[in-house]
Homo-oligomer: A and B are copies of this chain.
Amino acid sequence: MEHPRFLYDLEHCSIRRALDVLGEKWTLLVLREAFYGLSRFDDFARALGCGCGVLSARLKTLTEANILERREYKEPDQRARTEYRLTDKGRDLFPAILALSQWSERWMPPPEGPVARVLSRKSGRPVAVVSDRRSDGRIARDA
């Protein structure tokens, strides 16, 4: 008997479309570093310990997808350099990354405890990602 799944064509499903951009470990780790505040190529390379070729390719993917944007900056007496900053589209990935992180902490807790915790700036309490069944479909973005 055919599974009802095959009534649907999921070629253009939103998960696949997201993974077309993000479905690679280094891409998501570059984003992790952007959320930690890094913006410079050398800092990304040091933090991730990946090859410069891989990093260039991932930054290119993320810039082309408008998740990061390139900006020129110049410190006194130095040549102009490029930095990579999260766009609104990029910042909006935070709940997805936090959900992944919290799943990992629940099911594969690091032996020495969590490396980082996300706290509300207002209340100081931990921020959790939850499924909200009472929602009207709109997303509360500011945690």
Contacts and interface: CB of A to CB of B under 8 A. Distances in A.
Contact of A129 (B14, B99, B116, B127): B99
Contacts of A89: 107
A36 B9 CA distance: 12
Contacts of A78: none
A135 B127 contact: yes
A45 interface: no
Contact of A136 (B36, B94, B126): B126
Contact of A47 (B6, B131, B138): B6
A134 interface: yes
A14 B131 contact: no
15 contacts: A3-B40, A4-B37, A8-B115, A10-B116, A14-B115, A15-B29, A16-B32, A24-B24, A94-B131, A95-B129, A123-B134, A125-B137, A127-B131, A128-B137, A130-B130
Interface of A: 3-6, 8-10, 12-20, 22-25, 28-29, 32-33, 36-38, 40, 43, 46-47, 89, 92-108, 110, 112, 114-116, 120, 122-123, 125-143
